[in-house]
A and B are shown apart, each in its own frame.
Chain A
């Protein structure tokens, strides 16, 4: 098991970038690039990550970085990986496509689905901050039901979010995982594992967003951990159809207990409109999903036996 002492000392993110105070994205990217030893070519659509990357002619990241249009991430990454293959340079880099939830579950889903069907050789990380944060917190297909956004300002979002890791699983790609920036070692291990797999690998990364989720910037890690500890977000990976809970989620499944969802909701103003009935309903859904995933994890039962 990787510990903090095993992490590479080399930094690929330079000190100082343009992301908001308390943004979880920088934490995530730092560990992702360490896991890839900086030997990657990034493909990034218009998103918060573009802002983090910096404005011409300065950059906050020390790896080759290709910007792209909003719906184009997976297809541009396909082009980069197939271009490298044509030039016999495929093994020199990991192609890392990294897009937000809007750029993945909404406008980018067609290109990502096509690339998955073709099993193109790149790692796709969707950093999910549960709304269009770069344009000012508009509702996305990944925004949880009931959340107040600038385009659902009064009543909150009325629809359930897409279960994107499940959609990706249905494409039968070699690796699907979820991760949260509040557990960077779990993320690091997953990226490292994904690096050595050929084909399309997908990691769904939860990134708390202080400005969009409306909490104190100092609480990013706290909130990310609460998301996992309450079961609002579950850490797992799927290889060849076999699901395995990982990290904190695994430890809870093996003998702990999910915290009450209130603890997670109360720290964030985006959930202000929730009525006690809605909270109860939300808790029920979380428990159901948790049970389904725990049941799917055969390795858990083996360990218990």
Chain B
């Protein structure tokens, strides 16, 4: 058995990687991810298989073994090691990529915090899947939502085109703000479903993303001890300069996240100028301006919700849609600006902060707390563990809320308890 290290010297074709054929391809979300990482010039891929992410790593392994992509593939023995390899390779200056789902993401948990605390521009696809127990390999968003406090940028995709475009944008965002980016998309619904995807020219993508320069270069002449034990209070170094305490480091980490809003928007705009497509920056809207009841969600359920909005509009209900693309950092100001005059909001979460409400619902409530208007927010939970969510079910939920609102029948319990779509208990 040959290992990576025993592989012979690279051939000429490997030195000059073939360019992935541009144009329209009918591909799955997982293929879109792999092609996105390929086009972005990733140098190290470390990943461990898990359903429904596996085709991503299979595809990347094929690109690398065939010599099409000049990169190293590390066949790690766990997700914890996948993220560890990414951390090590990113520190020394390589552009790295990994992908995972559900329990794999949870297994990485301590390294997620380490990656963001180290301010490493690692890009990872999270193919959203339900968290066990009981076992389910099907889609919901509990995995990435449970890691929302890990200090990563989290971007959610609505379709396969957005997956490819977001992976490319993610590298540029990550390397600009020195934060890791998690590209989240729904398992099976997007990961295993084919859609037409416009694949850009490899050269154009390489021009779009500047080379990665690590913030702390490894230098034998200027050796650095990276991430040693750090005390609570600032402390002098050997030259008498006062350096940050742990708290200041974390303040800077948080500030970098909060200051990445304009970067995420600018890079999406720049991408639109170059490639003619936008992913919506922080969030996108549909039939929104005149809407009196707004659905807020993230991921592929946005498409189903837009069909529901059309249904509702047909029967005269002024419904609109707001889809969150950037979930962390949470774009509270942007949301406040868009939603401040809306009287009625329905959130649809495909995950739950167990013991309270859906994460989108809770975060949106806190964002709207500053609003002077008396907005009512009803939080629905849907689609856990792959339960199919149909547009008419979303429409029914919105209709019921609209009807109750107009009859003055919304009670406190509606506002404080999670409401479930299609729960047969």
Contacts and interface: CB of A to CB of B under 8 A. Distances in A.
Contacts of A115: 81
Give the contact-size bracket for chain A: 35 or more
13 contacts: A54-B228, A55-B235, A56-B225, A57-B235, A65-B225, A72-B87, A76-B84, A76-B87, A78-B46, A79-B89, A110-B77, A111-B78, A120-B4
Nearest to B92: A83
Contacts of A110: 77-78, 80-81
Contact of B238 (A58, A66, A118, A120): A58
B218 A64 contact: yes
Contacts of A83: 43-44, 88-94, 96
Interface of A: 38-39, 41, 43, 50-51, 53-59, 61-69, 71-72, 74-87, 89, 93, 110-111, 113-115, 117-121, 198-199
B423 interface: no
B225 A80 contact: no
A55 B231 contact: yes
Nearest to A40: B220
A113 B78 CA distance: 11
Nearest to A90: B5
B72 A63 contact: no
Give the residue among B77, B88, B220, B223 with the most A Cβ atoms within 10 A. Answer: B88
Contacts of A61: 223, 225
B81 A65 contact: no
Interface in B202-257: 218-220, 223-231, 235-238, 241, 243
Interface string B287-315: 00000000000000000000000000000
B340 to A, nearest CB: 43
A99 to B, nearest CB: 13
Given A50-B229, A86-B44, A111-B80, A64 B220 contact: yes
Interface string B81-110: 110111111111110100000000000001
A82 B224 CA distance: 20
A105 to B, nearest CB: 16
A114 B228 contact: no
A129 to B, nearest CB: 19
Given A58-B237, A86-B72, A89-B92, 11 more contacts: A41-B92, A55-B229, A55-B230, A59-B224, A65-B225, A75-B76, A76-B87, A83-B92, A84-B92, A86-B94, A117-B77
Nearest to B237: A57
Contacts of B241: 57
A63 B220 contact: yes
Nearest to A62: B223
Most chain B beta-carbon neighbours within 10 Å: one of A71, A75, A89: A75
Q: Chain A CB within 10 Å — which of B75, B111, B241 has the most?
A: B111
B88 A43 contact: yes
A113 B77 contact: yes
Contacts of A56: 225, 228-231, 235, 243
Given A57-B237, A76-B85, A119-B5, A86 B71 contact: yes
Contact of A199 (B5, B81, B89): B5
A67 B228 contact: yes
Contact of A72 (B5, B80, B92, B243): B80
Nearest to B230: A56
By CB atoms of chain B within 10 A, which of A80, A83, A110, A199 has the most?
A83
Most buried by A among B81, B85, B86, B218: B85
Given A72-B80, A79-B84, A83-B91, A64 B224 contact: yes
Contact of B225 (A53, A76, A93): A53
A159 B80 CA distance: 29
**B interface, size bucket:** 35 or more
B231 A75 contact: no
B74 interface: yes
Contacts of B90: 79, 83
Contacts of B12: none
A290 to B, nearest CB: 34
Contacts of A51: 229
Interface string B249-293: 000000000000000000000000000000000000000000000
Contacts of A82: 4, 44, 46, 72, 74, 85, 88-89, 94
B3 interface: yes
A20 B204 CA distance: 57
B114 A69 contact: yes
B77 A111 contact: yes
Contact of A68 (B71, B87, B219, B225): B87
A85 B223 CA distance: 20
A78 B74 CA distance: 8
A72 B225 CA distance: 17
Contacts of B238: 57-58
Given A50-B228, A51-B229, A110-B78, A80 B84 contact: no
Contacts of B400: none
A63 B44 contact: no
Given A38-B220, A82-B4, A87 B80 contact: no
Interface in B11-69: 43-44, 46
A86 B45 CA distance: 11
Contacts of A89: 92
B44 A67 contact: no
Given A54-B228, A110-B77, A39 B220 contact: yes
A122 to B, nearest CB: 10
A46 to B, nearest CB: 9
Contacts of A50: 228-229
Interface centre among B111, B229, B236 (most CB of A within 10 A): B229
